[in-house]
Amino acid sequence: MKIARFSRMGFILAAAGSAVGLGNIWKFPYIAGEYGGGAFVLIYLFTVLIIGFSIMIAEMLIGYLGRKDGVTCFEDLAPTHKHLWKLGGFQGLAGLFIMIFYSVVIGWIFNYIVTSIFYLPSSVKEAEITFNTMLHSGVWTQLFYHTLAFIWITYVLTKGIKGGIEKMNMILMPTLMIILLGMFAYATTLDSFSRAVEFMFSPDWSKIDSNAFVTAVGHAFFTLSLGMGAIMTYSASMAKNSNLVKNAFWIVFLDTSIAIVAGLMLFTFLYQYGSGPAKGPGLVFISLPAAFFEMGIIGNIFAILFFIALAFAGLTSSVSLVEPMVQYFIDRYSWSRLKASMSMGLFFYLIGIIALLSNIDGFKETLTWGDKNFFDWVDHFTATFMLPLGGLVMAVFVGFVIEKQRVEAILKPQLGFAFEAWYFSLRYITPVAMFIVILSLMGIL
Ligand code: PFF
């Protein structure tokens, strides 16, 4: 059977589609807001460039050399202790766990696209009521849209790398970029644009504690889709003789610029028409719609376009979250793509319903442990623990386990004199940073 591979452009768009997601447009602005803007943004940028970029190249290399699902890649590439290293490939499970809440959020976005056509809340208070009503008592609405998200994502996965994933990204990613750039261009003409720039780039270090640091590192992983095998699985289908370093550069560049463009645009709108930089997950669902209302009719158009862009960002990431485990069952158990996609889809869909219910009055109490409900635990555990752990495993694997000649043969011509610096960072800087993050999360540091 002929193996389907991405075209060069297809790979960059698909991997950027994986990276650019709810993390960029929904999460990044609100966590940046929570930690006071500038200082947090700088730590995040620093982590993305120093740690994120190195691990991106390493993760790509594992997939590119292994050419199979994650588990098989680790197993084949490890010279010894194969049964142990193959566990590294099970990081793909993190993607399925992320999908548990990710699909529910995509459902909220679908709902907002539809309601924005004829309704926008006239104040933040009203917007808060609308959002909370959906969140805490809108079981059927959420269920309906969560089901739509499940159908869309699973359908694309059944169509495979070329006919499904590549094709969707070739359409959705350029559309998303055009929408965001158009809205960003409008934002730059508003008075408040300079205040948004100041908020995002002038650091206020007093808001930074170890928590902010760990969140920034966790988010750098989440936003670049690192540490769980999404990039690795896509890289297994990269065209032969591709330049990994250039590809990694493009993905990091697109992901970071889109987060910054989205952040600047949202904060400009919030300063100009709304209540200033809002905090918390409700930012795009509460403060933003109220700001759109103030714009008049153009606000409805902006709201619809914005939520469409957000949905596209979420959908292109979703397929990459599920694909590693789909590929695993295809490669290791010879499942058909249809069977693998359906089973993985049903997994996140059904457990997603529990996550959805954990926000609903009446179920909330049973589904809350400590200070977080099921939904928040899944988010917290995956982004701040599983992904950094996966990143650590990958860095150690490429830095110490795969023979240096194999790594060099591919990356030296591409990295040139920077090869040794990259290799050093991968062996020593990245693992130590990851280790500190994981220990501090476990409350040991
Ligand atoms: N990078 C995606 C985002 O920013 O929303 C989320 C994500 C996708 C995380 C794929 C991890 C992953 F493997």
CB-based contact 258:226 (threshold 8 Å): no
Residue 302 CA, distance from chain mean position: 23
User: β-pairing, 368-369 with 372-373?
Assistant: antiparallel
User: Ligand 1 pocket, 228 CB below 6 A?
Assistant: yes
- The residues facing 372 across adjacent strands are 369
- Cα of 321 from ligand 1 centre, angstroms: 7
User: Ligand 1 pocket, 215 CB below 6 A?
Assistant: no
Q: What is the pLDDT of residue 279?
A: 61
Q: How far apart are CA 196 and CA 266, in angstroms?
A: 8
Of 318, 225, 180, 306, the residue nearest 16 (C-alpha): 225
Give the CB-side neighbour count of residue 377, counting CA atoms within 13 A: 15
Q: How far apart are CA 293 and CA 276, in angstroms?
A: 15
Q: How far apart are CA 302 and CA 272, in angstroms?
A: 15
Which ranges of 5-52 does DSSP label H, i.e. alpha helix? 8-19, 22, 28-34, 38-47
Q: How would you class 327 by CB atoms within 10 Å of its CB: exposed for 0-12, middle for 13-18, buried for 19 or more?
A: buried
Q: What is the pLDDT of residue 2?
A: 52
Quick one: CA torsion of 331, 75, 55, 323, rounded to 10 degrees? 10
Q: What is the pLDDT of residue 64?
A: 97
CA distances from 98 to 22, 50, 72, 349, 365 (A): 11, 25, 22, 11, 22
Q: How far apart are CA 86 and CA 74, in angstroms?
A: 5
Closest-lying ligand 1 atom to the alpha carbon of residue 28: 4
DSSP 361-373: TTTTTTTEETTEE
User: Ligand 1 pocket, 222 CB below 6 A?
Assistant: yes
User: Mutation test of ligand 1: which of 222, 232, 258 has the most ligand atoms closer than 8 Å to its C-beta?
Assistant: 222
Q: How far apart are CA 81 and CA 84, in angstroms?
A: 5
- Cα of 118 from ligand 1 centre, angstroms: 31
Q: How far apart are CA 102 and CA 317, in angstroms?
A: 9
Task: Give all domains of the chain, ordered by start, each with its CATH number.
Answer: 8-441 (1.10.4160)
- Cα of 234 from ligand 1 centre, angstroms: 13
User: Ligand 1 pocket, 221 CB below 6 A?
Assistant: no
pLDDT by residue for the chain (445 residues), tens digit each? 457 899 999 999 999 999 999 999 988 988 888 888 889 999 999 989 888 999 999 999 999 999 999 999 999 999 999 999 999 989 999 999 999 999 999 999 999 999 999 999 999 999 999 999 999 999 999 999 999 999 999 999 999 999 999 999 999 999 999 999 999 999 999 999 999 999 999 888 888 888 888 888 888 888 999 999 999 999 999 999 999 999 999 999 999 999 999 999 999 999 999 777 766 777 899 999 999 999 999 999 999 999 999 999 999 999 999 999 999 999 999 999 999 999 999 999 999 999 999 999 999 888 989 889 899 899 888 877 888 889 899 999 999 999 999 999 999 999 999 999 999 999 999 898 888 888 877 777 6
User: Ligand 1 pocket, 131 CB below 6 A?
Assistant: no
Closest-lying ligand 1 atom to the alpha carbon of residue 228: 13
Q: How would you class 128 by CB atoms within 10 Å of its CB: exposed for 0-12, middle for 13-18, buried for 19 or more?
A: middle
Q: What is the pLDDT of residue 298?
A: 92
